[in-house]
Structure 1
Amino acid sequence: MGNSCVTGASRSKSGGNLSSNVTLSSPEEQTTFKWTIDGFSSLLDKGEGCTYSSVFEIMGLKWYLKLNPSDKKTSEEKEYVSLRLELSRSSVKPDVIVEASFKLFIYDRSYGKHIEHKVNHTFQTASTSSGMSRMISLRKLKSPSSGFLVDNSCVFGVHIVKVVSSKANTTMETLFVQKMSIFNEAKTCTWDIDDFFAMKNPDYSPEFDVGGYKWCISMYPSRDGNHLSLFLHMKKPNDLPKDSAKLVELKLSIKDQENGNHLIRAGRFQASNNAPVWGWPKFISLEDFKDSSNGYLVKVKCCVEAVIAVAGSSKTD
């Protein structure tokens, strides 16, 4: 939890004592945690940094409070005392979401006018902390008339109203990327088109084999009226085991038949049962493609080249 964590008893720079006491509600209830900090000024003397309570258990889960006694953003002059509830990572499994409703408190021991912040928060592995709640300004807390700081002691707390745990609606994927030395060798496939203007929309290249699977290139000579589109297709995606995919490295190019300045686009995608096609719907504008100075279309002929390698695989659980 970082080097700024302070628990138990410690000695301040000024020689004062700082102690932290915790109180849980009775075993029958086990819904409230109170945290008394005796020697609050000593905590302030320690400078910037947050202080954590000990771990406590409520409703079968392990929690702790995080206190920032001098919370101030860069653009602000005013300091606040901020508090938040955190759920111990050991209490959160990767496939579980914990939805909690709770109240954060700072207790007014003189007048009984406690400050409370109601919070609803969803805890999961990637986010085990609720947002920091600014409970009270530090100036107000330290005011002589304040009932929140009595004899250099103040009390914070949390009351957990409701906790609901549920399975995360999450799909997990593991991608296995092969080392270069064991890549399937990249294969170059050339599609010579004798008459661009006679093509269907779309039209398909002859099939070819890469990595034990059959593929083809598709071209839309005018998919939207303004652009030429190019895609790579896995011809029989049902040959792949269910919930698996192949990581494919792809370079598609339209050859410059005059000057050798080919137009190349490259990418890496996963071909699967439900996503067997990948490419560029706007590979090149028709204006640029038909511009004779670019060499892509010579009279009615053009040439498309694909360089393909199967570079890995993935498994979805």
Structure 2
Amino acid sequence: MGNSSSRGRSEPRQGEQRTMKWSVDGFASLLDKGDGWTYSRVFELMGYNWYLKLNPRDKKSGDDGTEYVSLVLQLDDLSVKPDTVVKASFKLLIYDQAYGKHSEHQVRHSFQTASTSSGASCMVSLEKLKERPSKFIVNNSCTFGVEFIKVKASKVSTTSETLFVRKPSVFDEARTYTWDIEDFFALKNSGHSPEFEVGGHKWSIGVYTSSDGNHLTLDLCMKNTDGVQHDGSANLVEFSLAIKHQEGGNHWKATGRSQFTSNARCWGWTKFISLEDFKDSSNGYLVKNKCCIEAEVALVGSSKMK
């Protein structure tokens, strides 16, 4: 575990160790093992625990089969609390042991949770690693490392929700409300059904012309959300909306499961049905300007925000 006095610090203290070198002796034997990650031991630098991951025969997605030596830094899962983000600037290095022409890759990365990798690696083609006169491999040994520049931790602002789904009971059975519209065109661009009650709450069906002007939008709205929102709760509602076929055919129906709150009172479908299909009387949905919209509503759960 890291020293708690280092939390939130961005610059290394004078004389503080900030570089880890990892030498792999018998590198040819590691190459013989093929593609796969090898892990260093966990080490502490800058107040946190880390480890390096090495793949000597990595391949890039969609590449031509070229093999790369890849090096990745990872934050140890016991090093930081889940509500902390660790922002780190560092260099990943593959050392040239003769000429000092190291292969390095500078990274800035936010480790959002424990046991997360940098998401970026120092990649050198295996062919380049072996070529002369570079001295990446000396006496069958290859050296890798990480050098930290800055490390800073901060608390993350987290909102969490717990959703509770009730076991089905007779009290949760869907209630059906039918809205008979005698003259659809009298609604003009939008309209709401009379209110109806389900589960102690009042609801209405909304019908609109979509923003593209080519579809009918249907939604279900909870009318009295204020009374249930002061404690941060929400209602999980399973519902369906349907335009009934007036001549005994199949209804045009959609089903959803959404949470209704004071800032999300209405849920539905913006392109429920095309206006062309809806207005075509041969389809049986709008007949002599009349239509029938049906809602099935059941409260099946609730949630709390923290």
How far 1:261 sits from its partner (Å)? 1.8
Q: CA RMSD in A?
A: 2.4
Measure, in 2, the Cα distance between the counterparts of 1:130 and 1:274.
37
How far 1:63 sits from its partner (Å)? 0.5
Q: Which runs of 5+ in 1 are unaligned?
A: 1-24
Q: Write the letter of the residue equivalent to 1:283.
A: F
- Aligned length in residues: 293
In the superposition, relative to structure 1, how do residues 152 and 145 fare at CA in structure 2: closer, same or farther (>3 Å)?
same
Confirm whether residue 30 of structure 1 aligns to residue 17 of structure 2.
yes
Q: How does 1:84-163 map to 2 (within 5 A)?
A: 84-125=72-113, 128-143=116-131, 145-163=133-151
In the superposition, the TM-score normalised over structure 1's length comes to 0.84
Which moved further from structure 2: 246-255 or 278-287? 278-287
- Secondary structure (helix, strand or coil) at the match of 2:229 reads coil
- Secondary structure (helix, strand or coil) at the match of 1:89 reads coil
Percent identical: 63
In the superposition, the TM-score normalised over structure 2's length comes to 0.87
Q: Which runs of 5+ in 2 are unaligned?
A: 1-11
How far 1:83 sits from its partner (Å)? 0.5
1:190 to 171, 175, 178: 178
Deviations 1:229-263 (A, max 9, x none): 22111001111234321111111011111133211
Confirm whether residue 312 of structure 1 aligns to residue 289 of structure 2.
no
Q: Write the letter of the residue equivalent to 1:30.
A: Q
Measure, in 2, the Cα distance between the counterparts of 1:72 and 1:196.
62
Confirm whether residue 298 of structure 1 aligns to residue 281 of structure 2.
no
**1:237 alignment counterpart:** 225
Measure, in 2, the Cα distance between the counterparts of 1:48 and 1:237.
57
1:226 to 211, 214, 217: 214
2:37 to 40, 50, 62: 50
- Secondary structure (helix, strand or coil) at the match of 1:289 reads helix
**2:265 alignment counterpart:** 276
- Is contact 2:59-2:65 (8 Å) kept? yes
- Is contact 1:228-1:283 (8 Å) kept? yes
- Is contact 2:198-2:297 (8 Å) kept? yes
Confirm whether residue 76 of structure 1 aligns to residue 64 of structure 2.
yes
1:264 to 253, 260, 268: 253
How far 1:132 sits from its partner (Å)? 4.3
Confirm whether residue 41 of structure 1 aligns to residue 28 of structure 2.
yes
